[in-house]
Amino acid sequence: MAAIVSGRDWSDEIKDRIRRRYERLVEERDFLPEGARRMRDSGYPRAVLERLPDELAAAYCGCGFPAAALDLRDVRVAVDVGCGAGIDAWCLASEMRAGSAVVALDMTQAMIRMFVRSRATRGLRASVWPVAADLERLPLASAIADLVVANASFNLAVDKHSAFKEAFRILKPGGRLAARDLIREGELPGEVLEDPLADVTSLGGAVPEEALRQEISRAGFVRIRISDHRPFSRLTSVHIDAAKPG
């Protein structure tokens, strides 16, 4: 039975806290400093950074470059779940073929509005469709996407099984999941676990690598590869590559 917090479902309470945190970041422009430098250190190509709108670079909240080494020639529909300010959706749309489409999906409307206001979609090769929604309940038809990307998104999901299952559902047979996410190695200190903000700052939702692999597999994915381990604060950033059976 789900825990109840002040008469509400615990998972809804956590999601509201996440929304409020990111709304505040947008309203107060209180993102971590030097977004472009952090993106460069995370592996984003210089050519991408030179074209990316400054407002989006300043709002970078990811833990790596999920689109690294992706072959986008046959990708006609991509979905960026938990897109934040839409940086990775923008990266995909700038490289995909004309006539293709990217769905940029985030549950914080303020982040979606920031992406739209930045006029980042101008001049892109693919069209971008911003959508405000929960990655655990995607308002998208089954088997529509060739590619699902995510950047520090699944660690914030309260129900990770539902999140990975939804990513699996919207992929076409043979489609691919490419993500950067955060794992923990060992137990986190007590002061972190007891911090009421842990669940909204990625720390509380991070799981060990094997648990993450099991969740991805349980959703139905095959050829799961977790690689490129990089230190990230108290956690480790990893690249996830997996496929839906063809």
Burial class (CB in 10 A: 0-12, 13-18, 19+), 231: exposed
The single-letter code of the amino acid at 16 is D
Q: What is the DSSP string of 65-100?
A: -TTTT---TT-SEEEEET-TTTHHHHHHHHHSPTT-
| CATH at residue 161 | 3.40.50.150
Closest CA to 153 of 108, 110, 100, 194: 108
Q: How far apart are CA 104 and CA 121, in angstroms?
A: 11
pLDDT at 117: 81
Domain range for 35 is 4-243
pLDDT tens series, the chain, 246 aa? 344 444 457 778 888 888 888 888 888 888 889 999 999 999 999 988 998 988 899 999 999 999 998 999 999 999 999 999 999 999 999 999 999 999 999 999 998 988 888 766 677 889 999 999 999 999 999 999 999 999 999 999 989 999 999 999 999 999 999 999 999 987 665 555 545 555 555 555 789 999 999 999 999 999 999 999 999 988 999 999 999 999
Number of structural domains, the chain? 1
